[in-house]
Amino acid sequence: QVQLVESGGGLVQAGGSLRVSCAASGRTFSSYEVGWFRQAPGKEREFVATIKWNGVNTYYADSVKGRFAISRDSAGSTVYLQMNSLKPEDTAVYYCAARRGVYTANYHVTPNDYGYWGQGTQVTVSS
């Protein structure tokens, strides 16, 4: 079982950058796919990005493609979401999530695909 702890949220002006982190407690992400989701007030939780168990293969929502980058450290214990060119519509609580699985071809983009969740970190982008 893996526990997830997010950090790095905050307030930033439109056009700025922010990096949020998701640390694994208890084990590494070497056998997990890790995804980032976000939820704005009054809206459903939506997929942002995911990275495969190998720490290499990634997939992004169209709304963030080219602006956000997901990565994992060499130890396999922390996943990052680097957010550039931020827009006010990126304002949300950002959650990382994990699911066990290796050698799977599909990327998982719905919340129900993931069994482990962090507590969330607030990202606010001012105009």
pLDDT of amino acid 120: 97
The pLDDT confidence band at residue 13, using thresholds 50, 70 and 90, is very high
pLDDT of amino acid 35: 98
Q: Which residue has the tokens 């939506």?
A: 46
Nearest of 87, 68, 18 to residue 60 by alpha carbon: 68
Token reading at 80: 């990052």
Check residue 89 and report its DSSP letter. Answer: G
Q: How confident is the model over 35-46, as a mean pLDDT?
A: 97
Q: Is the pLDDT of residue 38 over 90?
A: yes
> Distance (Å, rounded) from C-alpha 102 to C-alpha 122?
30
pLDDT of amino acid 103: 73
pLDDT of amino acid 102: 79
Q: What is the pLDDT of residues 22-34, one digit of tens each?
A: 999 988 999 999 9
Q: How confident is the model over 36-40, as a mean pLDDT?
A: 98
Check residue 95 and report its DSSP letter. Answer: E
Q: What is the pLDDT of residues 72-95, one digit of tens each?
A: 999 999 999 999 999 999 999 999
Token reading at 121: 């970190």
pLDDT of amino acid 5: 95
Burial class from Cβ neighbours inside 10 Å (0-12, 13-18, 19+) for residue 62 reads exposed
